[in-house]
Each structure stands twice: as structure tokens, then as C-alpha cells.
Structure 1
Amino acid sequence: MCCYTRRHWITLRMIRSILLLGTLVGLSMGEIYYTVNCTGSEDIYQYNATLLDGSATINFGDYRGKVFVIYNVASFCGMTNATYHQINYLASKFAEDDFLIIGFPCDNFGQLEPASSYDEIVNGVKYVRPGGGFVANLTYFEKIDVNGDNEHPIYTYLKQANCPYTDTEFRTGLFYSPERVSDVRWNWEKFLIAKDGKPYKRYHYSTMDPAYLEDDIAYLLSQ
């Protein structure tokens, strides 16, 4: 029979403590679904939104036959740099295709999009984050709420288009009410729309690597 020294017992207790802590942390973090499929039958073409510079209201029917991604953007988020680089990579990769990227500024999460005007947001991206003269290759629409009583109809539609939620947990720092299971969970969640105007996939906000979207976009463009 093996005998344990005091040192061994201390080591075993530490291991058990680490395992217990890992279990508790795992439970508190909930589950993340980086990519979820959408199965709704209604298209987005009946909706419209105003461009951020106020120059026009766009009927999404104008995008018929195109593949596009919709982001809720924020200038002061920790994921801003990486996600803007993702956007420009995808825009460049599919520049010769019927593909576009749409951004809706949103202040629902941590109030990380305090700016409202086109000039404020574009100049913030150009000179602050990512900075260095960065120009985002996307179409900016009006600043909106994506959750809560004042959410934009496009987001009500997107969340009800059989696109399941991407995270079982809600973060702190939410500036809207009420909270609903279908809610966008944070800045930079994404919806990919197919050529027929129907949502194809929804992506968790942490999917900042272009690889999460690149193959799906290529597939839809090939259809």
C-alpha cells in the first residue's frame, strides 16, 4: 500500500481545488455557439433603413440577389480592431462578387458606441480604433437599438428568423430592456444573408477570424 507524504497530500488537494474551480467557472460561463444555422422562410426584402449620413433610406429589396453580412458595430469595444480587419479582409476577398457588408452602430452593450454621426464614427475608426488612416469597407446605416423595446424592426426580424441565440449567458453592461432569450449578446454579432434574402447563419460576437465566415460566404456566392 502506497503511503502519501504531507507534500503529496498538499499536491492532491491543489489538484482537486483546480478541478473544482474549473467546473464552477465552466458553469458560470455558460455555452457559446460560435455559428448557428437559420431556417426561417421569410426574406429581409420588406425592410428598410436609413444610411448613417442621412442621404437615403434603403429598401433591402435593392440587395436582391446579393450575399451580405450585417454587423452591429461599436467603436470602443475590445473587439473593434480585430473585427474591422475581418470586415476589410472579407470585403477585399469578395470584391469581384455580389457581396456587401452592412454595419449598424449600436450603443446597447457597455455604451461602447457613443458617437452618432457619420463623421464621428468614420473619423474614430480612421484615427483612433483601428486608427492609422484605416477606412472600413462597409456601408454604415443609422445608429439603432438591436434589442429591447426600441429595437429596429430589422433586428426583430433577424432574431425571429429561426436563428437561435449564440450564447446561453447575458453579459453585464446592458443598456436596454427587457432581456429576451433571442437577444444579440454583445457588439459585433453577425448575420449572413443568402441571395434569396433569407438569413443563412448567425455568428457569436467572438468570431473575429475571417475563417469563421469565409467559407460560408463563398458557398452562398456559388449558389
Structure 2
Amino acid sequence: LQSRYPHRLVVLGFPCNQFGYQNCSDAEIPNSLKYVRPGEGYKPAFTIFEKCVVNGSDAHPDPKYLVWNPISRNDISWNFEKFLIGPEGDMESHDFASLVLQNVSSVLLM
């Protein structure tokens, strides 16, 4: 999606270990994506930050902003939650891990 909408979409990844300690070390993340999941030589075309805390008082400022802006909501509840932020920094959508990424296209075309 980022390559289809380069001027409308920027993807950022914030790996963490708050959900069952499933994530590998920062140095292992690129090879994990390339060879394991999704595998098949996959190289992300988006920025992946260092592993960080996404919930609680020690949360990285960006995920913390997403959880508490514009309205209060429960913490990030599992891996691969998606936030769609408008060009002015306003929350357009917060969807759980089950969101089909292709459905985001309709929002980007609005």
C-alpha cells in the first residue's frame, strides 16, 4: 500500500515484547521477516523502529500518543494493531490486528 500511495501513506513499525514475548531482538528482526514470517525474501519497505514499550507509563511517545489521542481507549491489545493518522495528525481509524490491509485503500482514496 505504501508503494501505491507514496504521498498519502507512511508505514511505521514499532516492535515490542509486551505480547507473549514473541518478538526477537532488534538485530534479528530483519532476518526474521526475510526468512521466517512472512519469509520468501521479504524486505519491509517501511521504517521499523527499535523494540519499545507500547503500553503503560514507560511507553514510547508515538504509540502512547496513538492510544490516548483523540480519545481515551484501552491500551494496544495485541500484535499488529493498525492506526491510520490523517495529514494533520488526527486519528482516522484504529483497528485491531484482524483488519485486512486492503480495506485501508478505501480510506486513503477519501
Q: 1:159 aligns with which of 67, 80, 84?
A: 67
Matched AA of 1:93 = R
CA gap of 1:91–1:191, structure 2 versus 1, over 3 A, is same
Cα distance in 2, alignment partners of residues 210 and 190 from structure 1: 9
Question: Normalization by structure 2: what TM-score?
Answer: 0.87
The residue aligned with 2:43 is 135
Q: Offset of 1:131 from its aligned partner?
A: 1.1
From the two aligned structures, give the one with the greater helix fraction.
Answer: 1
Larger radius of gyration: 1
Match of residue 25 from structure 1 = none
Q: 1:193 aligns with which of 71, 85, 94?
A: 85
- 1:20-71 deviation digits (Å, cap 9, x = unpaired): xxxxxxxxxxxxxxxxxxxxxxxxxxxxxxxxxxxxxxxxxxxxxxxxxxxx
Gaps of 5+ in 1: 1-89, 166-181
Counterpart for residue 210 of structure 1: 101
1-side partners of 2:103 and 2:72: how far apart?
Answer: 17
Q: TM-score, normalised by structure 1?
A: 0.46
Task: Measure how far apart 1:158 and its partner are.
Answer: 1.4
Correspondence 1:103 to 2:13: yes
Q: Report the alpha carbon displacement of residue 163 of structure 1 after superposing the two structures with TM.
A: 4.6
1:149 to 43, 57, 63: 57
Gaps (5+ residues) in structure 2? Answer: none
Distance 1:122 1:108 in 2: 19
Q: 2:4 maps to which residue?
A: 93
How much does 1:194 deviate?
0.7
Residue of structure 2 in register with 1:62 after alignment: none
Query: CA offset at residue 164 of structure 1?
Result: 5.8
When residues 164 and 202 of structure 1 are mapped into structure 2, their CA distance, relative to the original with a 3 A threshold, is farther
Name the structure, 1 or 2, with higher relative contact order (CA <8 Å, separation 6+): 1
Sequence identity (%) = 35
Q: Secondary structure at the match of 1:201?
A: strand
2:22 and 2:95 mapped to 1: Cα distance?
20
